[in-house]
Amino acid sequence: MKFDLGTARQLRILLLLLAMALATVVSTGAVSAQGEPVDRVDPDVTGEPMIDSVAMLPADSIPDEAYPAPPTDIAVKDTPNDDGGSIDISWSLSIDDYEGGKVDRYVIMRAPAVNGQPGEFVEIGDVTGRANKVRDGNATEGEAFFYKVVAVNREIRDGVLMWEATTESEAAGPVASSAQWFDWRRLNVFVGVILLCAFILYFINQAQKGKDLFIRKIAGLEAVDEAVGRATEMGKSIFYIPGTQDMNNVQTIAGVTILGRVAELAATYDTWLEVPVSRSLVMVTAKEIVKEAYSKVGRPDSFHEDQVHYLTDDQFGYAAGIDGMVVREKPATIFFMGAFYAESLILAETGNSIGAIQIAGTAMPSQLPFFVAACDYTLIGEELFAASAYLSREPKLLGSLKGQDIGKAVVLVSIIVGVILESLGIWEFSKLFRVID
Amino acid sequence: MSTRTWELLVVAAVLIVSTIVYLGKVGGWIGGVSFSPAVSIIVIILIFLSLVWILVRTLRGSLVDRRIVFLFVGLAVVLPFFMSITQKIKISPEVQQLYDALEALPPGSKVLVSFDYDPPSAPELQPMAESFLRYCLRSDLKVIIIGLWPQGPQQADLALQIALEDPEIQSKSPQYGVDYVNLGFQAGNEFVIQRMGANIESMFPRDYFGAAYRDLPLVRNVKNFSNIDYSFNLSAGYPGTQEWVQVAVDRYGLRLGGGNTAVQAPMMYPYLNAGQLVGLLGGMNGAAEFELLTGVTGKGTKFMLSQSFAHMIVIAFVIIGNAAFFASGRRKPLEQGK
Amino acid sequence: MRREIPLLITGIVGAVFVLQYFIPHWPFSKMNAWFSDWFSIVAAFAIWLGALNLMKISLQKIAGRKEDWGYAIVIIVSFLVIVIPGFGGGQGYREAGTFFSWLYEWVYTPLSSTMFAILAFFVASASYRAFRARNLEATLLLVAAFFVMLGRVPVGDLLTGFMPTGWQLSDLAGWVMNFPQAAGQRAIMIGIALGLVSTSLRIILGIERSHLGGE
Amino acid sequence: MEHLAVWIAALLTLGIISFLYKDNAWYKLSEAIFVGISAGYWFVVLFWDNVHGKFWTGVFPPEQYDAAGNVITEAPDYMLWVGAALGILMLMRLIPKIGWISRWPLAFIVGSTSGLYLINYFSSNMMRQVQGTIMPLFGMWPTDPTTGETVFQALPTYDIVGNVVILVGVFSGLVYFFFSKEHRGVFGATAKVGIFFLMVTFGASFGYTVMSRMSLLIGRVDFLFGTWLGLIK
């Protein structure tokens, strides 16, 4: 097998895109690597006594000692690893800010920069006392701003706001938000994906060079031939159910890929294959695939448009439809390959009750027990994805299975090493796998 | 008489009896039925005896018709509705965790509730929705409702109506738009979650009733998930808790509790174990436990007796099937009854 | 051309979707939103194909007077009964009080809920007929199922009330769910993730292409 | 109307349930209504939500005014035309001669799905799960804040057993999924243990599914005997 033009071009484009991404990452090297998490901003007042009415006393009647010390060390910076429009503000708490102290909350003020000097400050939100950072998510990208943090002490008696004593910090800035070209918090995922893809591509390449790759027997797939053969002997039809999800589910894609192999067999044996589907897009795809399979084995005339037909998008409408068809037509063999939900049970039990040979495959853990119980063979999880490679025996696809196995080996080794290190009190290793920052 | 005649007679009888009962309900001369404890016990004994009869039949070598199994399931679910037996419900740790996290929220915290289910799953999820909303409104938590399933917001509306009937909540007279808001449905599955992570308004420019996002005081300043203190996802499939974990929790660090149909719940345990979920309500049982914690008895608790009976029946049938299987020398297939 | 362009589209779109995860900058930050909108719109167009197909099959049944052709008429009529008020009702088609919402509440909801509910019967019948302790694996499956079924309803603790706290059925069920069950789920999950990554990669690179059909 | 509604709902419910007895005319009628109604329902909903709600109002935003009467109409989003174009290409399937064009939107959907799934599953279902499995088996090593010393703090037995079970389960379960090695010897034995764990998982799933299904049936019974016949107190 050789890469044809289409694939080679695609590979080149992929590489180009990757290179572009890397280049931009390098060129904007100024991006900070440590994206420290910032507390949530709560622009609304939370956790404070309810104010029913306001009876503000004049400012001169507020006792002097009521004014809190200002917050200090206001630090403003562009939020790292984002697409711009956001600035992080942090500060050291006012020395009067402690449980029962003189700070109820902090009000954040913002002013646009005019010739490098702050313009008019307006309130943009507030946080409760003891909080020392917020994120301003409304800072237009590229515009410079100054920020001030105001400590607020309030007197509330019986739900009536009596007075509000405020002390402003110094203004900090100017700072402008900008967008970054690489999210450094996701570097580990990036490396992981690249590594796994590299394993897979390496073995695909090896396989193409003719290296013999061993793949163990998968019982469910060994039985496909037999199941199609039995339908032929009995002169009955084969049903193929590619799950109930749409083409935006990889399980469905795996399902329709396997359909291609089954359709080839059915066409070879000249056995009627029926594919009722529950999504229009799946219908479109499945038709293409079955048609292709029939012409591949030289029987394009045996293909009927209605072999693949749509019932309804509705899960149970679909199940009810299939149920009726199974009971009335009594197929000899039924395949269930793809993503299933609750309907799996109705389908598998009904098929079982008419005595059909059933081969199922899904990566839906909740539906596996029923397939395991009511079907003759079941492909569990990853085996579904391996199926198309296994059935086709195409070296490229088998190579990718080998690559997956290497990925699995890495996972196993990492788990063992990680558990040992962690049990010895060394944490750093497991952090390599963290996804949240 | 032929089978056909019998069948028609039964259908006619069912229709006539239900018409009479219905007329009785409308006219008010037939009320609710309730068994006395003695009758309840007799009914239980009868069910048990007939199960023994099935066991004997099966041991003799033929599986009973599946319709008999169906009949038993029906009885096991219907009869407990009329029995008055109270059960002791125990709180499981995952429900407790969810409740504790909720309880720790200060009043005024914003809670995002996503309704990702449709009426068929309502028996399991609606009780959870009702008691969750009731708890939030009682504790002065601000509730923001969305739906990733088209029917979700309708279910939310139904649950809200029930919650708002609560006298304690009525005394607070919560206001739409200030204390709770229903942003409606948006198509796009996990993409919706992802875009909410950047900007919620861009996904829900108007609420379920057509008001603009920026005109709703509760959400006016809620830009994205960083402004949400807690979230709860009622899920019956795709898109659901798995997508919320993958996108909202893992990418945006949202704090998420899950309310799942029992079918989905087992898949959520690895997420729970890895700390991606703060707690989990699984199925009717989870709903009943949560009701117990929040101190309001709702449908979850009411339905638990039927649930217990149904489980017992299923277990009984597994045992009967296996007893026959072993008695018949293991491998020999049983004759399919008809 | 018929084959190369789709392959190219798949490859580029796939690669962009992988990259956008790592690149917060415009236009990658927007691509996700665009693609999701596009997907919704394409799906809405595609259902025309499905609906037309359903109508065609039903009409063929009626025209050919095939078995049960009467029900095909019912399918077409009920399709029209909901579609006409659905489109005729304008934007507020599903507001409370409309005929569409009435159909939804009193026809669609009971039908779909009951479809779901009759699964309870099948599950019981499957337990009676299919779940056999044939070997050690099947026995484990059954034992785990027992623990969970009994432990998750109050009756389980009633039966094991004599046991000390922490060893009652609900505790055991909790243990099964939290540890062995979670471990198995996690193994399946990781396996599926690997399979998905590999399948997706093959699709993006155009190695797996049967879903696009032939020339 | 209310009486009619509840009767229709009840009769349709009984119609579906009657399938349990056998395939019959009442069931077939209910089924046909269901197939038609549900196909129509999604047809309508997808049109309004996606074609109208997303596309139409996106490219032709309706005029809007804020409380002060200022125009706040959103700018049209021209990118949505691409989606419509893809959708129309999809419909080309109806014209056999140029039906092949419909592969373009298909390729688009398959491509975007693959890319998105690749990343989502890799990060959440692999990286995160590996991280979740890596844990101290026997205890923690916290640092005492007063003395600065690191001390060993053993976990309760319950957690140690649990941790070991998770470790063994995940490890052996993954070994079962190895495709490129024959299940023989120690490797085979580990894979066997893996199968045991998978079976326990399936058993638990089965138990939970029973729970779920029974709940849904309970919901219907509540409708029939409560809402319809009013027999439940």
pLDDT tens per residue, range D99-122: 788 888 888 888 888 898 898 889
d(CA D54, CA D73): 15
Q: Do B318 and C145 touch (CB under 8 A)?
A: yes
Q: What is the mean pLDDT of chain D?
A: 86
Together in a domain, A166 and A301? no
More confidently predicted of A404 and A82:
A404
A146 within some domain: yes
For A118, A146, A275, the CA distances from A283, given in Å and listed in that order, are 62, 58, 9
d(CA D160, CA C5): 56
Within 8 A by CB and 6+ apart from C12, the residues are A10, A13, A17, D111
Residue with tokens 């005997």: D225
What is the structure's pLDDT at B111?
Answer: 95
Within 8 A by CB and 6+ apart from A99, the residues are A130
Together in a domain, A172 and A62? yes
Nearest CB neighbour to D130, from listed A285, A366, A411: A411
- The answer on pLDDT for B236 being more than 80 is yes
Interface contact A373, partner C, CB < 8 A: yes
Highest mean pLDDT among A36-50, B226-240, D69-83: B226-240
Burial of D22 (0-12, 13-18, 19+ CB in 10 A): exposed
d(CA B202, CA B211): 14
CA distance D155 to chain C (A): 16
Spell out which residues of chain C touch residue D126, defining contact as CB-CB under 8 Å. Answer: 189-190, 193-194, 197
Chain C neighbours among A 287-306 (CB < 8 Å)?
Answer: 288-289, 291-292, 295-296, 306
Q: Which domain holds residue A275?
A: 213-393
CB B146 within 8 A of CB B114: yes
Q: Phi and psi of C169, rounded to 5°? A: -60, -40
d(CA B98, CA B111): 13
Together in a domain, A131 and A274? no
Q: What percent of chain B has pLDDT over 70?
A: 97
Interface contact C129, partner B, CB < 8 A: yes
CA distance D221 to chain B (A): 7
Interface contact D120, partner B, CB < 8 A: yes
Within 8 A by CB and 6+ apart from A291, the residues are A300, A303, C213, C214
Instruction: Summarize the confidence of residues B60-66 as an average pLDDT.
Output: 79
C21, C50, C66 - which closes a domain: C66
C117 within some domain: no
What DSSP string runs through A128-178?
A: ETT--EEEETT--TT-EEEEEEEEEEEEEETTEEEEEEEEE---EEEEE--
CB B202 within 8 A of CB C33: yes
CB C18 within 8 A of CB D115: yes
d(CA A412, CA D171): 6
Q: Do D134 and A419 touch (CB under 8 A)?
A: yes
A207 within some domain: no
pLDDT tens per residue, range B11-28: 999 999 999 999 998 888
Q: Do D31 and A288 touch (CB under 8 A)?
A: no
Interface contact D50, partner B, CB < 8 A: yes
Q: Do B238 and A245 touch (CB under 8 A)?
A: yes
d(CA B284, CA A59): 58
For A122, the 3-state DSSP assignment is: strand
Interface contact D103, partner C, CB < 8 A: yes
CB A192 within 8 A of CB D127: yes
pLDDT tens per residue, range A307-365: 998 887 767 678 878 988 898 899 999 999 999 987 888 888 888 878 899 999 998 88
Q: Where are the beta strands (DSSP E) in A177-257?
A: 238-241
- The answer on pLDDT for B248 being more than 50 is yes
Q: Do A433 and D127 touch (CB under 8 A)?
A: yes
Interface contact D109, partner B, CB < 8 A: no
Q: Do A10 and C7 touch (CB under 8 A)?
A: yes
SS (H, E, C) chain B: CCHHHHHHHHHHHHHHHHHHHHHHHHHCCCCCECCCHHHHHHHHHHHHHHHHHHHHHHHCCECCCHHHHHHHHHHHHHHHHHCCCCCCCCCCHHHHHHHHHHHCCCCCCEEEEEEECCHHHHHHHHHHHHHHHHHHHHCCCEEEEEECCCCHHHHHHHHHHHHHCCHHHHHHCCCECCCEEEEEECCCCHHHHHHHHHCHHHHCCECCCCCEHHHCHHHHCCCCHHHCCEEEEEECCCCCHHHHHHHHHHHHCCCEEEEECCCCHHHHHHHHHCCCCCEEEEHHHHHHHHHHHHCCCCHHHHHHHHHHHHHHHHHHHHHHHHHHHHHCCCCCCCECCC
Together in a domain, A222 and A143? no
The answer to whether the Cα torsion of A170, A176, A179, A180 is positive or negative is: negative
- CATH assignment of the domain containing A344: 3.40.50
Chain C residue with Cα closest to A324: C68
- The answer on pLDDT for A27 being more than 80 is no
A14 within some domain: no
d(CA D128, CA D150): 27
Q: How many CB pairs under 8 A join B and D?
A: 144
- The answer on pLDDT for A2 being more than 70 is no
The answer to whether the Cα torsion of D133, D134, D139, D142 is positive or negative is: negative
CA distance B145 to chain C (A): 18
What is the structure's pLDDT at A51?
Answer: 59
Query: Best mutation site among B66, B105, B223, B245 for testing chain A: the one with the most A CBs within 10 Å?
Result: B223
What is the structure's pLDDT at C139?
Answer: 87
- The answer on pLDDT for A3 being more than 50 is no
With cut-offs at 50, 70 and 90, classify the pLDDT of residue B8. Answer: very high
Highest mean pLDDT among A59-63, B13-17, B262-266: B13-17
C49, C66, C83 - which closes a domain: C66
With cut-offs at 50, 70 and 90, classify the pLDDT of residue C211. Answer: low
- The answer on pLDDT for B331 being more than 70 is no
Indicate the CATH number of B93-297 among 3.40.50, 2.60.120, 1.10.3470, 1.10.3210.
3.40.50
More confidently predicted of D204 and A1:
D204
C109 within some domain: no
Query: Left (φ > 0), alpha (ψ -120 to 50) or beta: where does C79 sit?
Result: alpha
**Cis peptide upstream of residue B120 (ω within 30 degrees of 0):** no
CB D113 within 8 A of CB A247: yes
Q: What angle do CA C91, C97, C98 make, to 5 degrees?
A: 45
Kindly provide the b/e burial profile for residues A294-325, where b requires at least 16 CB atoms within 10 angstroms of the residue's own CB. Answer: bbebeeeebbeeebbbbbbbbbbbbbbbbbbb
Domain limits, chain B: 3-85+301-337, 93-297
Query: What letter represents residue B154's amino acid?
Result: Q
With cut-offs at 50, 70 and 90, classify the pLDDT of residue B137. Answer: very high
Q: What angle do CA A198, A202, A203 make, to 5 degrees?
A: 125
Chain D residue with Cα closest to A412: D171
Query: Best mutation site among B105, B112, B220, B221 for testing chain A: the one with the most A CBs within 10 Å?
Result: B221
The answer to whether the Cα torsion of A49, A55, A56, A60 is positive or negative is: negative
Q: Do D34 and A423 touch (CB under 8 A)?
A: no
Instruction: Summarize the confidence of residues B170-187 as an average pLDDT.
Output: 89
Q: Which domain holds residue C58?
A: 1-66
Q: Do B266 and A46 touch (CB under 8 A)?
A: no
pLDDT tens per residue, range A196-221: 999 999 998 888 888 888 888 888 88
Q: What is the mean pLDDT of chain A?
A: 81
- CATH assignment of the domain containing A130: 2.60.40.10
Nearest CB neighbour to B269, from listed C145, C146, C177: C177
Helix (H), strand (E) counts: chain C: 10, 0
Spell out which residues of chain A touch residue C131, defining contact as CB-CB under 8 Å. Answer: 373
What is the structure's pLDDT at D152?
Answer: 77
What DSSP string runs through C31-71?
A: HHHHHHHHHHHHHHHHHHHHHHHHHHHHHHHHHTT-TTHHH
Q: What is the largest CA-CA distance in chain D?
A: 82
Instruction: Summarize the confidence of residues A272-280 as an average pLDDT.
Output: 91
Together in a domain, A159 and A219? no
State the chains in contact with D (3 or more Cβ–Cβ pairs under 8 Å): A, B, C
For A64, C93, C150, D128, the CA distances from A303, given in Å and listed in that order, are 91, 41, 51, 46
Together in a domain, A258 and A383? yes
For A2, A386, C98, the CA distances from A215, given in Å and listed in that order, are 22, 10, 59
Nearest CB neighbour to A365, from listed B224, B227, B267: B267
pLDDT tens per residue, range A116-156: 888 889 888 777 778 888 888 778 888 889 999 998 888 77
State the chains in contact with C (3 or more Cβ–Cβ pairs under 8 Å): A, B, D
- The answer on pLDDT for B98 being more than 70 is yes
For A369, the 3-state DSSP assignment is: helix
CB B137 within 8 A of CB B169: yes
Interface contact C123, partner B, CB < 8 A: yes
Kindly provide the b/e burial profile for residues A221-248, where b requires at least 16 CB atoms within 10 angstroms of the residue's own CB. Answer: bebbeebbbbbbeeebbbbbbbbbbbbb
Spell out which residues of chain D touch residue B247, defining contact as CB-CB under 8 Å. Answer: 120
Query: Best mutation site among B306, B309, B312, B317 for testing chain D: the one with the most D CBs within 10 Å?
Result: B306
d(CA A246, CA A277): 10
CB C48 within 8 A of CB A283: no
Chain B neighbours among C 29-68 (CB < 8 Å)?
Answer: 29, 32-33, 35-37, 39-40
Total domains in chain A come to 2
Total domains in chain C come to 2
Together in a domain, A113 and A232? no
Q: Do D44 and C100 touch (CB under 8 A)?
A: yes
